[in-house]
Structure 1
Amino acid sequence: MVNENSGDVDGAVQSEKIDKDSRIAVLFFPVLILLGGLCGMLLPQAFVGLAGWINPLLMIIMFCMGLTLTLPDFALVVKNPLPVLGGVVAQFVVMPSAGWLVATVLHLDPALAAGLILVGCAPGGTASNVVSYLARGNVALSVAMTSVSTLIAPALTPLLALWLAGQYMPVDAGSMALSVVQIVLIPVVLGIAIRMVLNRLVTKVTGVLPWISVLAITVVVTIIVAGSSQAIMNAGLLVLVAVILHNGLGLLLGYGAGVLMRVPADARRTMAIEVGMQNSGLAGGLAKQYFTPEAALPAAVFSVWHNLSGAMIAAYWRRKKTVNTGNLADK
């Protein structure tokens, strides 16, 4: 006799395994990034020649992200667009502005200032969804915000970089937009399409995708740090301070945006995480391609720090209960 609930049980087991793999990947992420950064610092000559790998690795990361998305993930945009669109607006207003403000207050060198601002102009970070889950945030909102910010990045990232980072260094917005389309939009859309056609097959390997992304971004950071090793020796502490301030402002103002919009506590947590965590790998690749190796330094440091701060804030929030968890997804 066949158990009618066996499919549900298998699905629950699969989902639990995916969640566990994702949690482990994100918790180990800062450790691997730190090790990669140390390798880049101590053995720069071994990785400098691999600069051509950065964009292909970023494309792999974006493709993996696309494979994790389904059309229902975008349903929240239609059902309750205000928190999603409000959060995305906060993403592209708060972080570029905060990057410019921190660069101005700390009197960063032009290359470092442009690099920090470019981090702020990037879309949401790929690890933010799992960090939101660990923090007992609204995961549906997190996925929707990451997806929307990523899909509109080819338009907004170059324009914002031209406006703010262009004060410090020349910005070829047209070429940068084309690069973002190639690195971000095409791989994500391709991943979504493959998920639609081969959903059952993709679901079986979903637990591996976070690890592929973690390893890829680790290599990207290692290469970027190797190319900026001398700059790190000269300005490492100042850049760390700038990154901590930038990330902290994003988390604080992202949460504040949720308070102003009067969304539930779990959604406020998600908005804080989504705004504060950036796709720093993309920012580093663009900085290295369109600015200088030194300009990629803030992105490399941000890659380490925002995952450490994300893990810490998730651990803190996970111990505190939220009110109306999941309501946004149901409205």
Structure 2
Amino acid sequence: MEYHGTPEILDYRNANGHGWSFFKNDGLLLTIVTTPEANMEMIRKVQKLELRNDDVLIAAYPKCGTHWLWEIVTMLRAGNSKYNKKAKDISMLGTPKSVLVDELPSPRVLNSHLYFRHLPEKLVEKKIKTIFIMRNPKDVSVSFYNHLNGVKMSFRFDGTYSEFLDLFLEGKVPCGSYVHYVKDWLQVKQNHPDLPMLTLFYENLKKDPVKNIRMVADFIGVSVTDELCEQIAEACSFKKMRTADKELKEHILTAPENWKEGHKGIYRKGEVGDWKNWMTVAQNERFEDIIVGTFEDTGIVFTYD
């Protein structure tokens, strides 16, 4: 990734001052965590990261089940249903803490919300097993809103869901357009047939966790019993993960003190179809036109309830 000069700052806050400023690079809107220069340097370091042959990478747009899947894969590789005391933040690429990844022991379960082109350059060459998980975009919009509305950090969103939805539909949110992100990863699967890649859906994992956990185990080459898959499914149920997150985890990015008082933190509901409690009929129709319709040519069929 080349970076020259001072990037243009794009202010996409709405009339109420709610929203974010971004800078554009490599065709993408990038959130300014510190400064554009520091952000670009952070991504360059990710691209140059030395991968190990036994790494597994989880890729997902925010609020699509990254934490959930990270716990599952970590347990599968450990061969038990015990929680890792570290949160997935320790192995997340694309944050200021990405430098810690080099210090992690193998086997590593890496995770990221970055686009493919911003990930380690050796991903395809080393044939790193990559799992891409998707979630229906209506629930993503609601979950993402509640996350950004609940944090105290600089990228929080203090407006209403209606205000957030306007920005989400235009791709003017952290991590950019959901449509562009998903389509970019679908293209990766076509362009790089040598990259071992498994595609999962949040809703399928919710409906039949044992079946999907076994699918993940087979993909990463781990031998499992039905009993272990069931134990992991139980340990990774929403209620138990939320309890473990509060009582056991050592956080970096999502520590309890980073959330507004009374907010449920990273684990809010985890339900399929919660968008119906948030969207008006008119908003849903607009969502269908702007986002849902754009997936018709992909073969992707999302489950919305």
More helix per residue: 1 or 2? Answer: 1
Between Structure 1 and Structure 2, the one with more strand by share is 2
- Which fold has the larger relative contact order, with Cα–Cα distance below 8 Å and residues 6 or more apart in sequence? 1
TM exceeding 0.5 = no
TM-score w.r.t. structure 2 length?
0.27
**If the length of structure 1 is used for normalisation, what is the TM-score?**
0.25
